[in-house]
Structure 1
Amino acid sequence: MKKHMLTLAVLIVTLSCKDNKTNNGKLNVVTTTTMITDLVNHIGGHLINVQGLMGSGVDPHLYKASEGDVSKLANADIIIYGGLHLEGKLVEVFEKMERLNKKTVAVSDALDPSSLISSESFQGNHDPHIWFNITYWKTITKYIVKTLSEINPENKTAFEANGKKYLHELDKLETEVKSTIETLPKEKRILVTAHDAFNYFGKAYDFNVVGLQGISTATEAGVQDVQKLASFIIEHKVKAIFVESSVPKRTIEALQAAVNSKNHQVNIGGTLYSDALGNAGTIEGTYIGMFKYNVNTIVNALK
């Protein structure tokens, strides 16, 4: 019944709002996650109108569209989302928009499927946390520049210039990140977090990544999962484990308690930004700032 009502709402809003679009000559872009919103803002700047559906601390795996979201989507010239079932509960809405000839773009389409990490525990699909590989994010940046240029060719030169500038910043970020991580011995590169959001990061920077929950936060950890990971932490003498900003901290606190109950001390090394950036207006509220913050937090806690 709820699905039917949402579908009906999409149709009604689409039909009723067609004449109410912002009439300032700018492209109306709707994005999902904060990472994508940040990227599109860097490329489009003041030349486009960008509306992000999700804010800081929001879990995209569990996010459901509100009536206001449906209105924004209906009025968009283009919808840009993560893909790979990251926004699992919005897939139906995106499919409906496509059938209504609304242009929708998944940033994951920029990547070669063979480069993606698969997961048997996530319905046989690929890991959607692709932003934790900076090289992949550069490829996605180029893809978004091309996409915006095709739909808004009069601003192509500006989009390309903005994209080039941002790619240069990502190059500098990658150099800085590698330099920081090199200060952490490889045997200490064990990253234990609330859920499996950091596998691309681990693959890129030689970390053994272990999440208490699966790739999607819709999968809850059980008592056996907690006990098994507690034994792993003790066996490998892991010094710190990490909370995530978009996942309730009680899961990691339960893990810490399980470890401590076995006469082994493990610290909570800090809060990492996984599925969402920090608050708008802060350093962690940007992709580059978030990445630097995460790396410094991880390295300092595990040293």
Structure 2
Amino acid sequence: MDTPAALRVAVLGAGSWGTALAAAAARRHPTLLWARDAALAQATAHAHENQRYLPGVSLPESLGVSSDLDAALAFLQNDPTRGLIILGVPVAGLDQTFRTLAHRLPALHLADVPIVWTCKGFEESTSRLPHEIAQAVLPEGWRGGVLSGPSFAREVAQGLPVALTIASTESAVREMTIAALHGGPMRVYASADVIGVEVGGALKNVIAVACGIADGLRLGTNARAALITRGLAEITRFGQALGAQAETFSGLTGLGDLVLTATGDLSRNRRVGLEIGAGRALADILASGMTAEGVRCARAVLARARQLRVELPITEAVCAVLFDGVAPVTAVSSLLAREARHES
């Protein structure tokens, strides 16, 4: 098989996931990781290890690291037609990141470089999905997509096997992302269902919080299986109401990501649920430094669902526990008290 032509990849955001993807890309192509924090960038470049977010994981020596955004973007100017930007920023920072790129990329003659985001969730204040934020901010003609799937950053950075999906309406974006990352232990599949991939990535976090609560209450593995299964039905119902394809939710970014996040020991969303089920208050959990996207976006999901008149009973129960002071046992009882109905 022919070796693919070299790309240049700029990964913006040096958290755990941005660092992991930068490491994967650097094993195949010239890659530069941008960190907002200058001290973090310097330390990561020196030690070939992101000691803050991925301690103990060695990064490729070929991976460049910088805190200079202009330098990170200029890194792509060598051949803009073979450049790719991957965003490792959370949903909360997406709007500002897109605004920054919308201002800087045209000036650097990089307006045609595809932008791939990796965050999972809905924007808290607006209930927008990431692609809706992009459409509102980026200039006409931009090209981009979402990279998602069942993946823990530490395992990806360690070079363990993983399968992801790149979703874009542009075949060129899908092909370039696959060229940048597919190979060795990483498989990257293509999809045109941006909405479905984004919805699966967002709602699985909320369902994972629910599964963690159930596990914290020691309700058993039967309960967890029921929450995962009915949670998938909830995700599919909501996604289709937004225009997603039903089959997307039986794939990597639906069922695959849901199972991983609802059962995996590295899942922050599940850990938050476990703590709540064990009796800790959400404020105390968050104050300890534990963050989870499911907590951030649960209310935004519920608000969007109510606009669409889509019923999301598990999401409603999670919101009741997280934000309305409802006891976890009471929320579980309310779910169990729902009327019987056909499964599908």
TM-score higher than 0.5: no
Indicate the structure whose relative CO is greater, using CA pairs within 8 Å and at least 6 residues apart. 1
Name the TM-score, length of structure 1 as normaliser.
0.37
- When normalised by structure 2's length, the TM-score is 0.34
